């Protein structure tokens, strides 16, 4: 069964959650968290997204954000296919990228 379409519109607020594959850790230390936040900062500029709150746990993260354009899917796709794998590669942990699309 396919996933239902995500409703997107300008000025919408979203809770985004993503876990590592098989709930493996994705943040080993503070350096990992800082690197992740730097990449997240690129999303805010590139896609005009405002981050209101976040929490980074060992094996997953939560974001509360607002989109100024109807582009959450594009932003998270860029993050998941471009930025996050680079983060994983830098940290020498390829294969531990988020297990499923952001919710």
Q: What's the number of domains the chain is made of? A: 1
102 in a domain, yes or no? no
Tell me the three state secondary structure of residue 23.
helix
Note whether residue 41 is domain-resident: yes
- Whether 6 is in a domain gets the answer no
Question: What residues contact 83, with CB distance under 8 A and at least 6 apart?
Answer: 39, 42, 43
Residue 67 or 29, more confident: 67
pTM of the model: 0.75
The 8-class DSSP code of residue 82 comes to I
Arithmetic mean of pLDDT, 14-39: 86
Which CATH number does the domain housing residue 80 bear?
3.30.70.1290
Tokens of residue 8, six digits:
């997107």
More confident residue, 19 or 93: 19
For residue 32, the enclosing domain spans: 12-90
Q: Per the domain annotation, does 2 fall within a domain?
A: no
Highest mean pLDDT among 28-42, 58-72, 80-94: 58-72
């Amino acid at each position: 069964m396919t996933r239902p379409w995500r409703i997107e519109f300008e000025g919408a607020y979203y809770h985004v959650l993503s876990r590592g594959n098989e709930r493996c850790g994705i943040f080993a230390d503070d350096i990992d968290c800082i690197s992740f936040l730097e990449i997240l900062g690129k999303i805010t500029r590139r896609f005009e997204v405002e981050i209101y709150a976040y929490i980074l746990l060992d094996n997953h993260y939560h974001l509360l954000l607002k989109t100024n354009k109807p582009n959450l899917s594009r932003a998270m796709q860029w993050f998941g296919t471009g930025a996050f794998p680079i983060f994983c590669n830098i940290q020498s942990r390829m294969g531990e990228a988020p297990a499923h699309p952001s919710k």
